[in-house]
Each structure stands twice: as C-alpha cells, then as structure tokens.
Amino acid sequence: MDSASTMTKVEDASAVQEAVPPCLVSTRWLAANCKKSHVHVLDASMTKVVGRTPLEYNELTVIPNSIYLDLEQRLTDTSAALPNTFPTAEQVTLALQDLGVNKTDTVVLYDNQGIYSSPRAWVILKAMGFENVCILDGGLPQWLADNYPAGTEYALPRTARGNFVAKFNKNWLVSSKEVLKATQSGSSSIIDARSPERFLGTKPEPREGMRSGHIRSSFNLPFLEVLDDNRYRKPDELEEMFISLVGPKSPHLILTCGSGITACILLVAARIAGFTEVQLYDGSWSEWGANPQLPIEPISSSNNE
C-alpha cells in the first residue's frame, strides 16, 4: 500500500537504487530525481480554486523541467453534464502518450496551491492503471519555500510518444446508486470534504439552483483540516483524525465534495492514514444536490422535501 511513512526510506535509497515512490514525495526527493529520464514532473494546477483563498503568482511559476498536465480539459470528460467528470480511458491514454509517458515511467504531480488539484490527478492516474505516480507534498509553494529554483515556462514534451495505455478500474469510484445504498445499510462511512457551512446548508451552494445540505448520514471533514499549511499532516495525525470521525478502522470509506476535486485530497489522506478501502463519489454534490429524489440533511423548506 502507498504510504507517506515510507518517504524517508525512498529518499535515502534513491542514491543507490531505483525505487518506486510512495504516494507522497518530498522536495528533496524530487530535486534528487527530477532529471532522470524516466521521471516526468507534471503540473496539475487548475485555473479555478474553490474552498480556500487561492495563492496567486505575478507570472507563470513552475518547477524546472516540468510539463503542464491539463486536468480541466485533457483529464476531464467535458462532454458530461456534470462538472469535473472523470475522464475516459481513451482520454488518459492520449494525454499521457502525448507527454511521452511510458508505462514503466514515474510521474510526479504537483500544483501551485500546495495540495489542491494534484490529488485529483493522482486518483485519475491510479484508477487508470498507472502505478508509479506520486504527489509532491506541498507542491510548488513548498518547492519555493525550500529554496529550489523555479522557472517561468514549461518544458516541451519529449519527442518520442509514450506507450502507456489506460485501463479503467471501476473499483476506485462509486455511483449515486451505491452511495444511496450505503446511506441505507451503513456499510460505508461517507465523508464530505466541503466547508462546514456548505455541509450544514447555512451557506448557499456556488451553483445556482442547487440544494443545500449534505448526503444523509455523512460526516464532515473539510479538506483543509488534513493539511498542515501546504503539506499533508503526518500519518499518525491523519489516522487519529479519521478514527475520531468514523470509528476505529471503518472498513470502507466513500469520499465526496462539491464536484469531485477536493474529495481526492481526503482520499489520499485516508490512504496515508492506512485506510485501503477508499472510493471516490465522483458526482459528489453536483449530482446529489441536483437530484430531489436523493435524501439530504438538513431538510429545509427550500429543499421541498
């Protein structure tokens, strides 16, 4: 299982042997490995940031030799009715092949907010069968804070086309039907990454006409709570956080949010904490909140339930 606790071991071993990184790597690890021919550093930043005050830059600022991974277009099914819908296997295949990524290569993802959209890209690649993928803990802000050099333009993709072919593993996702079943059976713990105000329905949803509230029987863990500034909290802190929320080692977790982006931050946090049975509800509140047939809490007069 991927674990942040193995980060130091990987870093120490990198000078003498090749090692597959865990789900998180540090700036030190990246600085030592980023120039290797099989390592691809991809910027998975998004243009729109929701749920936190965006970090802004005066000009394009990137990690040297990194390439832009267009999460909002290339790794999103833009033909779908819901925002930020999971991409098809064909989309992922084309996107990674265009960037020169081979199936045995290593991909390091980062974003310019620290930890925001890079976990979404991580979940997508893992669900599509790409194993050697990790997230730069702290992203670009941590890279800059640790005084590593920055660039103002992306590197060009490698001339040789990659050979990775995506194969979607449906076990990474759950549908609204499966979430509804979980609310009725109690077989899974559903955790919502949105703010307490949105979760409780005291703050209107950013999408017009959307119901306010949360999935019935779900728990609230705002995504910022699993972060310490720009980085993930330590594994033992995250484990304690999840256990205090859902009980000791709940057998199965379903992560949700507004549209499937910040739920991925929680999904990675749960993996770091030692939870292995974790799934993403990709439709999240964009789907659940728009369907009056699906039960929500709290029930108010504006919900018409």
- Name the 3-class secondary structure at 227: strand
In what helix (H) or strand (E) does residue 39 lie, and over which residues does it extend?
Answer: strand 39-43
Torsion of CA 279, 283, 289, 291, to 10 degrees: -110
Cβ atoms 268, 123 nearer than 8 A: yes
* DSSP 8-state assignment for residue 286: H
d(CA 166, CA 90): 7
State the catalytic residue, choosing from 23, 134, 257, 264. 257
| Six token digits for residue 124 | 């997508």
Q: Which residues are registered as beta bridge partners of 278?
A: 253
| Six token digits for residue 53 | 């005050």
Q: Which residues are registered as beta bridge partners of 39?
A: 106
Longest dimension (CA), the chain: 64
d(CA 181, CA 171): 16
Cβ atoms 247, 211 nearer than 8 A: no
Q: What is the DSSP string of 159-227?
A: SSPP-------GGGEE-HHHHHHHHHH--SEEEE-S-HHHHHTSS--SSTT---SEETT-EE--GGGGE
The angle subtended at Cα 221 by Cα 288 and Cα 41, nearest 5°, is 90
The answer to whether residue 257 is catalytic is yes
Nearby residues of 1 by Cβ (< 8 Å), 6 or more positions away: 271, 274, 276
Q: Which residues are registered as beta bridge partners of 174?
A: 281
The residues assigned a catalytic role are 257
